[in-house]
Amino acid sequence: MSDPNPPATPSPDLVLVTGGSGFLGAHCVLALLQAGYRVRTTIRTPARAADVRAQLAAGGIDDPGDRLEFAIADLTSDDGWVDAAAGCRFVLHVASPFPTTQPKDPDELIVPARDGALRVLRAARDAGVERVVLTSSFAAIGYGHAPTDRPFTEEDWTDLDSGRPVSAYVQSKTIAERAAWRFVREEGGALELATVNPVGILGPVLGPDFSSSVELVRLVKEGRLPRLPDVHFGVVDARDVAALHLLAMTRPEAAGQRFLAIAGDVMSAQEVALLIRGHLGEAAGRRVSTRLMPMWMLKAAAPFSRRVRDSLPDIGTVRRATSEKAIAVLGWSPRPREEAVIATVDTLPTYHPRRR
């Protein structure tokens, strides 16, 4: 497990985390508080403050006291970002739209992801922030390419001009990260930038807001997928992604760098189902299906399900990646992928996903 070298005593440094009520955002807030930092997190409405506090309590911090504060800001508006960044030494820009289904209009994701990142970077620069760590994604690295057995690295970029199908989410993460690097290069002044590019994020579920990766585990666990798509994906624990954010935030050698986050090799949906079934035991695991859905069945269902249509380009495709850079440069040490899956399974019974 990663050790972000937390300070021995509470730090006077104030860190802004955007999207602290989200799945990864809450884990980042939790990791920062555990490391002794003061944290300000953005929420879209005052009511979401209770959601953040509830997730922190689920993670073991019942009362952060005056080390936690809130700022009202939204990626789609300029309002609030100046105040949110004021007095902060670092910014973790975690907030980004991630729907369970792809929108008909890609701009519904691209515009808030790109413009939101630029709003945060602009406010950080103007506030004299030292470094921003942007949560990007493997989506900005491994898509739009011809099939390959070579593991993708931080040197790769998703190719949006190849003619190969890429989802609106993949487009949004690629365009937003490229826009961020361009802004820092051309307008950032002394502002430093690092990015973290995780694969599918699993791990302890702290509240009702979680990723589509967690949603897949929930559907498998509850037996809602009688047949599984032949898809493969990387897995990483949210706690380790949060730890990597702290390392990228504080280590001098992280400035100007991208860091892929994956634990080991990719997993298939069938491997995930077999792991879940074995963990649940004979009685509870009986409802977990491990049968694959044949391609003819997927194609037959595609006209009636947008989710199935969106998944077709990924059927049978294996995109491998490596975290050698994060391990070698920053000393990052992720949990095994199996531990991330089991942590998700064990924390899901209490929660149900919030529909957006």
Q: DSSP of 161-182, one letter per residue?
A: TSSS---HHHHHHHHHHHHHHH
Fold of 14-347: Rossmann fold (3.40.50)
Domain spans in the chain, listed from the N-terminal domain onward: 14-347
pLDDT of residue 315: 80
Binned at pLDDT 50, 70 and 90, residue 349 comes out as low
Catalytic residue among 104, 173, 221, 299: 173
The predicted-structure confidence for 188-217, as pLDDT tens digits, reads as follows: 999 999 999 999 999 999 998 877 889 899
Place of tokens 């967690």: 214
List % helix, strand, coil for the chain (3-state, nearest 5): 45, 15, 45
pLDDT at 99 > cutoff 80: no
Higher pLDDT, 124 or 97: 124
Q: How far apart are CA 151 and CA 236, in angstroms?
A: 16
Stretch 83-102: mean pLDDT:
86
Helix (H) or strand (E) holding 15: strand 14-18
Binned at pLDDT 50, 70 and 90, residue 7 comes out as very low
The predicted-structure confidence for 143-152, as pLDDT tens digits, reads as follows: 999 999 999 9
pLDDT more than 70, % of the chain: 89
What CA–CA distances, in Å, run from 176 to 99, 143, 164, 195, 339? 16, 15, 20, 11, 31
- Computed over every residue of the chain, the mean pLDDT equals 91
Place of tokens 């792991």: 275
Q: What is the DSSP letter of 227?
A: S
pLDDT at 354 > cutoff 90: no
Phi then psi for residue 52, to 5 deg, are: -65, -45
Tell me the β-bridge partners of 205.
none
Binned at pLDDT 50, 70 and 90, residue 184 comes out as very high
What CA–CA distances, in Å, run from 24 to 133, 239, 257, 279? 13, 8, 20, 24
Q: How far apart are CA 320 and CA 152, in angstroms?
A: 6
Q: How far apart are CA 201 and CA 216, in angstroms?
A: 11
pLDDT of residue 96: 83
The predicted-structure confidence for 77-90, as pLDDT tens digits, reads as follows: 999 999 999 999 99
Give Cα 115 to chain centroid, integer Å: 18
The predicted-structure confidence for 285-303, as pLDDT tens digits, reads as follows: 999 999 998 877 766 765 6
The predicted-structure confidence for 302-339, as pLDDT tens digits, reads as follows: 566 656 666 677 788 999 999 999 999 999 999 999 99
pLDDT of residue 280: 96
Binned at pLDDT 50, 70 and 90, residue 105 comes out as confident
Place of tokens 């997928």: 225
Q: What is the DSSP letter of 206?
A: -
Q: How many CB atoms lie within 10 A of CB 42?
A: 26
221 labelled catalytic: no
Tokens of 227: 């047949």
Helix (H) or strand (E) holding 259: strand 258-261
Nearest to 276 by CA among 286, 266, 265: 286
pLDDT of residue 5: 47
Stretch 245-270: mean pLDDT:
97
pLDDT at 3 > cutoff 80: no
pLDDT more than 90, % of the chain: 80
The structure's pTM equals: 0.92
